[in-house]
Amino acid sequence: MKKTLLLCLLTVFFACDDGDLQIEQVDFDSVSITTCGDEDDATETTFFFKIDQDEALILNLAGGLLANETSEPGTISSAIPSASELIYRLFTDDVTQDYFCDVVPPLEPMVMEENTATGGTLNIETKVRSVTKDVKNYGHTISITGLALTNDQNESITDTSTFEYGTFTTSTANSARLEEPFSNYSEIDNYTECLENPTDSTIRLVKVINDELIALDVPFDSLANMATQEEFPRKIDVSTGLLKYVVTNTFSSSDMVCTDIELAEDIQNWYYDSTYGTLKIETLEGEPDESGNITYTHNFIIDSLILTLRGTGEDANDVQLPIINSVEMGSYTTFGN
């Protein structure tokens, strides 16, 4: 339930009546966050405003708080007014976006009242809100607790509750649509092996990054402890969904694809399955160690990969992604003697 006390505070129509502050209510709940859209990278945006006819609620956000990745609740915060700034303005007439975004602001309307918050803590919670075949869309929900306002007569009032300023949306290419697809996963050296495999003859290997993961199902006999000949790798058809790319609206974990655990109702997953392509496995044999154990490194490359974003809901359709000619998918190590 949205807090309304703070919305009362933001009117800034303070008056003394027998020593008490009298406050008229103004509601910005139905007003969306607006920006000037002048940043090449939307996560670098620091100036926001909400307009309701002749009123505006302006936020100057400290830099470096927005990122296209899911955040832990309570980990992104900023102090008001030392780092971030919240301002309420009342104008002589209705105000538009041009007033805030034009290089030369219009002369009208004029500011009739202005109050700046003198205290409070701003918090941001970021998570995936939706995906397409090309991008992940992140929602950055901005809220403020302990907001303190002071009027021209130096009268102050503090709201100890939390109110939601609004949600700002940014987008970034999903891992399959990076300039080098799935190159972000190269930073993870090793796959995690599922304890519960999809079939008796297949192993499922997983890598997790923040709010997404990849899962690769590989037949056991394709991971034989035997070096492959040069230019003659083992080949597996992945068109039956042997590669899965999964994005979630929370932190991902291997359990999401390694077990049949039931997810909470508020967790949403988006699945991209391989519907075409060939997995090539090149196996390299290392030198025996002092105990005679030999390391076998199985390098994965998928050629002519096509992923399909599975539709969700009754009216949603599957969407096919453009073909990826060749993509390196890391390696897996086994041991023998």
Q: Which tens digit of pLDDT belongs to each residue from 58-71?
A: 999 999 999 999 99
End residue of a domain, out of 143, 173, 203: 173
| pLDDT score recorded for residue 202 | 96
3-state secondary structure of 42: helix
Residue 133 makes CB contacts below 8 A (sequence gap 6+) with 177, 309, 319, 320, 321
318, 310 in Cβ contact below 8 A? yes
Do 123 and 181 belong to one domain? no
Place of tokens 């700034």: 85
Q: What is the Cα–Cα distance from 64 to 81, expressed in whole angstroms?
A: 16
Return the minimum-mean-pLDDT range out of 45-54, 155-164, 242-251: 155-164
Amino acid sitting at position 147: L
Share of the chain above pLDDT 90, in %: 73
Residue 47 makes CB contacts below 8 A (sequence gap 6+) with 35, 36, 58, 59, 60, 61, 100
Do 265 and 138 belong to one domain? no
Do 217 and 162 belong to one domain? no
End residue of a domain, out of 158, 173, 188: 173
Please, what's the b/e burial string for 242-278 (b: 16 or more CB within 10 A of its CB; e: otherwise)? bbbbbbbbbbbebebbbeeeeeeeeebbbbbbbbbbb
Tally of domains within the chain: 2
Q: What is the Cα–Cα distance from 147 to 28, expressed in whole angstroms?
A: 15
Instruction: Give mean pLDDT, residues 31-56.
Output: 93
3-state secondary structure of 182: coil
Instruction: Give mean pLDDT, residues 239-267.
Output: 93
Do 311 and 258 belong to one domain? yes
Q: Which tens digit of pLDDT belongs to each residue from 146-182?
A: 988 877 777 777 887 888 999 999 999 999 999 999 9
Q: Which of 329, 98, 127 is nearest to 216 (CA)?
A: 329
Q: Which tens digit of pLDDT belongs to each residue from 277-312?
A: 999 999 999 998 888 899 999 999 999 999 999 998
| pLDDT score recorded for residue 160 | 77
- Give the mean pLDDT of the chain: 89
Q: What does pTM read for this prediction?
A: 0.89
Amino acid sitting at position 115: N
| pLDDT score recorded for residue 38 | 83
End residue of a domain, out of 173, 192, 226: 173
| pLDDT score recorded for residue 2 | 40
Q: What is the Cα–Cα distance from 259 to 255, expressed in whole angstroms?
A: 5
Do 161 and 186 belong to one domain? no
DSSP-assigned letters across all residues of 122-171: EEEEEEEEEE-SSEEEEEEEEEEEEEEEE-TT--EEEEEEEEEEEEEEEE
| pLDDT score recorded for residue 156 | 76
Do 77 and 167 belong to one domain? yes
Do 228 and 328 belong to one domain? yes
Six-digit token string for 133 = 């075949």
Q: Which tens digit of pLDDT belongs to each residue from 70-95?
A: 999 999 999 999 999 999 899 999 99
